[in-house]
Amino acid sequence: MEKFKIKPETTLKMFEILGGMWIAGCVKAAAELNIADFLAEGPKTISQLAKVTYSNENQLYRIMRALSSVGIFTETGNKTFILNELGATMQSGVPGTVKDFILANLTEHFPGFMELTYSVQTGKVPFEYVHGMNLWEYYKKNPELGNNFGRGMTGLSNMELDGIIKNYNFSPYKTIVDVGGGNGIMMYTILNSAPESSGIIFDESYVTETTAGCIPENLKNRCSVAVGSFFEKVPEGADLYTMKWIIHDWNDDECIRILKVCYNAMPKGAKLLIIDAMIPDDSQNKPHIGKLLDIVMMACITGRERTLSEFREIIEKSGLTFNRLIDIGTEAKSIIECEKI
């Protein structure tokens, strides 16, 4: 067995990695206290922040000092803090916010990350072990947390929607179905880029009940919702089907089942876009956001992030034909175009 002499600087590096958990705790506190929203009004002393957040001034300062040390908010003289670009991502209700995603990951999701050994030894899902039900059942029973998770997904969408629109031409398609389309943010973006197209946002009833009332006025004559389960049936006869961050939620057998349902609904020549992270097949020992997102999948659901060869395998087993891989400028998402031949 090869033995390494552990150097102090190596120990420090591991210590810094562990520090990510400690900073995450501070990030959660800042999100829960709406710190970014208050700083968006202008610089504030720690006394002012403590007053508006009903916090202990000394304890809050320790949180804010730690966050500022890693570039989240900026501390100036006299214990005064200002909002910076990174801290601004925790504002409420702004395009690109990650506040809701932070709260989901560090609240209901977090216990699952502490039980990864359970997953490794049993092949089962830590979230289910901790909560006694799967993620989707949990959100149905806790709709406020489910709504927060949906907002979190919307916030993350902003980092790739521009890349999707710039790198894929939706104009040729008369009817587009977004399978598992949630609150419709991607469909609205697509339809605004393709003025002759119409769209259907397909999801379960507890999702579409809200979505139906949120369709923008300028799209109401071209956009509608449809209710159902993509394990059973999706709207038939569209020219294009899209699935963003859907396939990665499920294991291979479940994915093949979903894709076969789509295949059965598609006319010949129709296309389907899988929009997910794609881990390069030759990325051994190289950093890639998909490798970290894959741990989120392991902790919370039955799904996984995949390499292109793994995607091609489930696509072919569903009856679809792989056409091409389209880079949209972010590791968090790529477009995999499939077709019913």
Question: C-alpha distances in angstroms, 340 versus 87, 97, 178, 336?
Answer: 45, 37, 17, 14
Other beta carbons within 10 angstroms of residue 312's beta carbon come to 17
- Catalytic residue, chosen from 109, 131, 248, 288, is 248
Q: What is the CA radius of gyration of the chain?
A: 22
Question: What whole-number distance in Å separates Cα of residue 320 and Cα of residue 341?
Answer: 7
Phi/psi class of residue 72: alpha, beta or left (left: φ > 0; alpha: ψ in -120 to 50)? beta
Q: Is residue 109 within 8 Å of 62, Cβ to Cβ? A: no
**Rounded (10°) CA dihedral 247, 252, 255, 256:** 140
Q: Is residue 311 within 8 Å of 277, Cβ to Cβ? A: no
Question: What whole-number distance in Å separates Cα of residue 129 and Cα of residue 216?
Answer: 40
Beta bridge partners of 200: 177, 224
Question: What whole-number distance in Å separates Cα of residue 163 and Cα of residue 167?
Answer: 6
Three-class SS state of 224: strand
Q: Is residue 258 within 8 Å of 246, Cβ to Cβ? A: yes
Question: What whole-number distance in Å separates Cα of residue 47 and Cα of residue 144?
Answer: 32
Question: What whole-number distance in Å separates Cα of residue 25 and Cα of residue 188?
Answer: 35
Asked if 131 is an active-site residue, the reply is: no
Q: Is residue 38 within 8 Å of 49, Cβ to Cβ? A: yes
Give catalytic residues, as residue numbers. 248
